[in-house]
């Protein structure tokens, strides 16, 4: 694992979130800031067999795919200064992202949305093609169905996708991540179809069990 970023005056680690970390960091931080990193694109090509899926039914979670184009991945940097909180943050993320999730750790440059803030080095968790859980590219319909049916001990895969999309729409409106928003829309469509199917089945069962006119008292 690469060493976290250090300043001249104090030790601060800066962790960049672009998926569930956006809305569920699970560690204490002193400050957060919206911005982006360059040279990557966000894709739901990483499998999850623990937090958002099982070994029999992998979920799909976000990773970053390197690109030569000037792509930006928007997200949030979380700044952690307290040494005890740093150990908790790195310990928890190492277990969740690296040991269980198949991610690696890299450092890259973060560009704040606020023009008055300076770019800084950040730590990013990225899953590459070489890890055992990498699922890779698939059609949007296939990915949406995989997300729809998957659930792990952290919750449903649907929650992971929809809450990530909701956060970005609300707090980072300049992000036009078509891949994320297309997947979110299709996952929501599947959820709605399931609700409608269940309602329809319930109505049919209700009418099937209704007594005939002659039987009504």
25-43 burial, b for 16+ CB within 10 Å, e for fewer?
A: bebebeeeebbbbebbbbb
Give me the chain's average pLDDT, please.
85
CA dihedral 67, 129, 86, 1 (to 10 degrees): -100
- Tens of pLDDT along 140-177? 999 999 999 999 999 999 999 999 999 999 999 999 99
User: Pick the catalytic residue: 10, 31, 33, 97?
Assistant: 97
Reply yes or no on domain 13-203 having CATH 3.10.490.10.
yes
H runs (alpha helix) in the chain: 83-93, 140-149, 157-171, 178-208
2 is catalytic: no
> By percentage, how much of the chain surpasses pLDDT 90?
67
| Residue with the larger pLDDT of the pair 204 and 45 | 45
Query: Is residue 130 scored above 60 in pLDDT?
Result: yes
């Amino acid at each position: 694992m690469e060493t976290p970023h250090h300043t001249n005056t104090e030790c601060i680690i800066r962790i960049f979130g672009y998926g569930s970390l956006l809305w569920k960091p699970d560690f204490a931080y002193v400050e957060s800031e919206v911005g982006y990193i360059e040279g990557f694109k966000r894709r739901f090509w990483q499998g999850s067999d623990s937090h958002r899926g099982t070994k029999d039914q992998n979920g799909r979670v976000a990773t970053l795919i390197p690109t030569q184009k000037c792509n930006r991945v928007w997200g949030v940097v979380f700044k952690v200064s307290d040494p005890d909180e740093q150990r908790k943050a790195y310990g928890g993320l190492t277990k969740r992202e690296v040991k269980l999730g198949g991610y690696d750790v890299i450092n890259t440059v973060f560009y704040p949305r606020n023009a008055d803030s300076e770019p800084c080095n950040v730590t990013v968790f990225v899953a590459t093609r070489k890890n055992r859980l990498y699922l890779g590219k698939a059609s949007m319909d296939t990915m949406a169905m995989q997300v729809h049916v998957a659930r792990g001990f952290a919750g449903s895969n649907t929650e992971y996708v929809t809450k990530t999309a909701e956060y970005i729409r609300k707090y980072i409106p300049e992000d036009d991540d078509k891949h994320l928003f297309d997947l979110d829309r299709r996952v929501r469509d599947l959820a709605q179809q399931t609700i409608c199917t269940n309602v329809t089945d319930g109505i049919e069962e209700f009418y099937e069990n209704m007594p005939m006119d002659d039987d009504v008292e």
